[in-house]
A and B are shown apart, each in its own frame.
Chain A
Amino acid sequence: QLQLQESGSGLVKPLETLSLTCAVSGGSISSGAYSWSWIRQPPGEGLEWIGYIYHSGTTYYNPSLKSRVTISVDRSKNQFSLKLSSVTAADTAVYYCARRYSAYGAPFDIWGQGTMVTVSS
């Protein structure tokens, strides 16, 4: 059974870069059948899609975050990462990584437990 586990800094200063990693276990991140996603949930709010990356390296980002987001894959470590630059308090959220089938309109079928990131000086 594939599992995802987020890790990274839980506290980031304003205007710095948020960095998170999602470790994939029980399966290969190099499978062309899937893409790898980041989704977040600010306190008291709903879910917000951040973006995803295909095994080819092609990325798709939420237009509202596109200028600040980078998602990358490290196949040697079977993990993928999120970098969000110039963060503000509005970026405080629980960040989830998730797997998505590489198909039109596909769901996110497996999620990590999530990791809380607070933006504060």
Chain B
Amino acid sequence: QSVLTQPPSVSGAPGQRVTISCTGSSSNIGAGYDVHWYQHLPGTAPKLLIYGNNIRPSGVPDRFSGSKSGTSASLAITGLQAEDEADYYCQSYDSSLSGSGVFGGGTKLTVL
């Protein structure tokens, strides 16, 4: 049972927009900790996609954006491409767990 809750799967057609939610609580996202997002293709190293709630590292297309409000966060992907098919994880920290890093359970994005 992950501390942060994500939908197990989302899907969209090429060119469409999809969003992935990440729901936490008052001890993690709601406590003011930043939310970070990772893209993971099986067998490869996870890649930092968004950090500090809405900042893209160099090289990440602006099709990817993040937001945070209250105890939740979201990742939006616009102009969906076949190469976006991957697992996406949100991550934050939790004060009730002594500041431990916590992850969402992951969301499998399927490009139809």
Contacts and interface: CB of A to CB of B under 8 A. Distances in A.
A117 to B, nearest CB: 15
Q: By DSSP majority rule, is chain A's interface helix, strand, loop, or mixed?
A: strand
B24 to A, nearest CB: 13
Contacts of A37: 101
Interface residues of A, number: 24
Interface residues of B, number: 28
A26 interface: no
A49 B102 contact: yes
Given A105-B34, A105-B92, A105-B93, A111 B103 contact: no
Given A63-B100, A105-B33, A47 B44 contact: no
Contacts of B99: 60
B100 A107 contact: no
Given A105-B33, A105-B93, A109-B51, A49 B46 contact: no
A62 B46 contact: no
- For the complex of A and B, the 3 pairs showing the least CB-CB separation, nearest first, are A49-B101, A107-B36, A111-B45
Interface of B: 2, 33-34, 36, 38, 43-48, 51-52, 57, 89, 91-93, 97-106
15 contacts: A46-B103, A46-B104, A46-B106, A47-B46, A47-B91, A47-B106, A48-B103, A62-B101, A96-B45, A96-B46, A98-B46, A107-B52, A107-B91, A108-B38, A108-B91
